[in-house]
Amino acid sequence: MIILKSPREVGLIQEAGRVVALAFEKVEPLIQPGVSTQTLNDFIDQLFRDNGAISAELNYCGYPASICASVNEVILHGIPSPKKILRDGDIVTIDIVAKKNGYCADAARTFPVGICSQRALKMIEIAKESFDNAVSLVKPGIHLGDISAAIEATAKSHGCSVAREYTGHGIGRTMHEDPMIPCYGVPGTGPILRKGMTICIEPMILEHNAAVRVLKDGWTVVSKDGGLTSHYENTIVVTDDGYEILTKL
């Protein structure tokens, strides 16, 4: 069941979204060779609290940290650790969900660490381009499959794959609501978008093959072939004639 949000509820999600955007702005300068992903976790956890929010990821289904910090071949749910030190040339995805006044906002960005290879930087761009192409279609009356297909087509145009086992999603009082929004699909299929839907569009891109596996910790998802991965996500609301991004300042 897709829950449509009132303007008041959209405003509350937007307030949480501002905290998410602030976290990205403030953490970016810390993302340097030598810093641990635990340091990034603790910084964002504190920033959330200082801004009246908490991490909706902490303890979610037993998830043991406040952010996901996923390096290189880790596509999702990298668990921060003081032992995981960022190195020059890595790319790291920070995926965060702030909950404030009962409402959640969710976004992800992949950042370069120090000096990166051209192909690593290209991976970061492809995730953003996939998001931009998908979100540009959003307005009442389109199908969810239109969004999914745009993500898949963009990734494929660069010779990349999309994650198949993980999807975007609706969002509101909880971080995952209906509908699921796969990164692949067929235009003209799936639920129709309506004004007041709040959704997370999140291209998850693999450099080569789409196959992934989960490590023994039960969380960390990696590309099976060891190829690089990237991710770009925002929470948006469907408006009268288009959309508004809610995870921005």
Residue 95 binds: one of Co ion, ligand MF3, none (C-beta under 5 to 8 A by kind):
ligand MF3
CB of residue 33 to Co ion, shortest distance in Å: 28
Q: Which helix (H) or strand (E) holds 96?
A: strand 91-100
Q: Of 76 and 138, which has the nearer Cβ to ligand MF3? A: 76
Residue at 54: amino acid letter: I
The DSSP code sequence of 128-187 is HHHHHHHHTT-STT-BHHHHHHHHHHHHHHTT-EE-SS--EEE-SSSS-EEEEE-SS--T
Residue 246 binds: one of ligand MF3, Co ion, none (C-beta under 5 to 8 A by kind):
none
Residue 199-218 contact track with Co ion, rule CB under 5 A, x = bound: -x------------------
- How far apart CA 111 and CA 134 sit, in angstroms, is 21
CB of residue 88 to Co ion, shortest distance in Å: 29
Site residues for Co ion, 101-140, by CB under 5 A, read 106
CB of residue 240 to ligand MF3, shortest distance in Å: 27
Q: Of 43 and 63, which has the nearer Cβ to ligand MF3? A: 63
Q: Of 116 and 233, which has the nearer Cβ to ligand MF3? A: 233
- How far apart CA 196 and CA 243 sit, in angstroms, is 10
Q: Of 170 and 227, which has the nearer Cβ to ligand MF3? A: 170
Whether residue 203 contacts residue 229, with contact meaning beta carbons closer than 8 Å, is answered with no
CB of residue 183 to ligand MF3, shortest distance in Å: 12
Residues in the site for ligand MF3, rule: CB under 6 A? 57, 60-61, 63, 68, 77, 95, 97, 106, 202, 233
CB of residue 175 to Co ion, shortest distance in Å: 7
- How far apart CA 152 and CA 136 sit, in angstroms, is 14
CB of residue 211 to ligand MF3, shortest distance in Å: 20
Site residues for Co ion, 182-201, by CB under 5 A, read 200
Q: Does 146 bind Co ion (CB under 5 A)?
A: no
Q: What is the dihedral of CA 20, 24, 25, 30, to 10 degrees?
A: 140
Q: How far apart are the first and last CA of the chain?
A: 30
Q: Of 94 and 113, which has the nearer Cβ to ligand MF3? A: 94
Q: Which residue has the tokens 């099976």?
A: 224
Helix axes 118-135, 144-157, angle to 10 degrees: 160
Residue 1 binds: one of Co ion, ligand MF3, none (C-beta under 5 to 8 A by kind):
none
- How far apart CA 212 and CA 193 sit, in angstroms, is 30
Residue 96's DSSP bridge partners are 107
CB of residue 118 to Co ion, shortest distance in Å: 28
Which residues are near Co ion by CB under 5 A? 106, 200
